[in-house]
A and B are shown apart, each in its own frame.
Chain A
């Protein structure tokens, strides 16, 4: 599975968009990009995933570059409850293993 690189920490103001980047330059054609987050003292929570096209759901948007070497998770209007560690994970479609890295610790400021 491809390795991902994320900044260790970011912050944003409440109500503003939070844009979390992820580099996955070694991604192969059949690998998906998944995002999870972990709020303090809770289990991780699935957010969104994509292959080539941009995706949007009720929680976030996922923008994947055309060459698929990087992606950005967008929380359009961050709230204090979005403070968490965000994990970008790349997976082959034949693998069930979620390999969690260190993620990005997002702090949403009041």
Chain B
């Protein structure tokens, strides 16, 4: 148990559906991240939020829309996805301003997304 929870753990959606992934951290951190891990590929950083402001958007298609309403919650809204978007989506959090410990990120268990 890392203190970062993600729901749902598994999601199957059609290409015309709209769904949302939820992440919650119970660690008092002030930065949150979304990563994507496709089969047999390294983890890719998608979005970074620091103090609830988006500070990074790694050329992610607009069909992925993040939302960070407060420092404990992070959402990833999905719409009109493609089959190649099927992947494990991981959320992480960290405490920025902590010096070298900024990079001690705590990951949730991930949401396994399948787009049909």
Contact = CB atoms under 8 A, between A and B. Distances in A.
The A interface, classified by DSSP as helix, strand, loop or mixed, is loop
Given A96-B96, A96-B102, A97-B56, A45 B42 contact: no
A98 interface: yes
Contacts, number: 55
A51 B101 CA distance: 12
A65 to B, nearest CB: 19
A44 interface: yes
A94 B7 CA distance: 31
Contacts of A49: 100, 103-104
B48 to A, nearest CB: 7
Contacts of B50: 96
User: Counting chain B CB atoms within 10 Å of each CB, which of A32, A41, A51, A96 scores highest?
Assistant: A96
B12 interface: no
A43 B103 contact: no
Contacts of A91: 103
A97 B50 CA distance: 12
Contacts of B94: 96
Given A45-B2, A97-B56, A34 B103 contact: yes
User: Counting chain B CB atoms within 10 Å of each CB, which of A43, A46, A91, A96 scores highest?
Assistant: A43
B2 A101 contact: no
Given A45-B2, A91-B103, A101 B31 contact: no
Interface of B: 2, 4, 31, 42-43, 45, 48, 50, 56, 88, 90-92, 94, 96, 99-100, 102-110
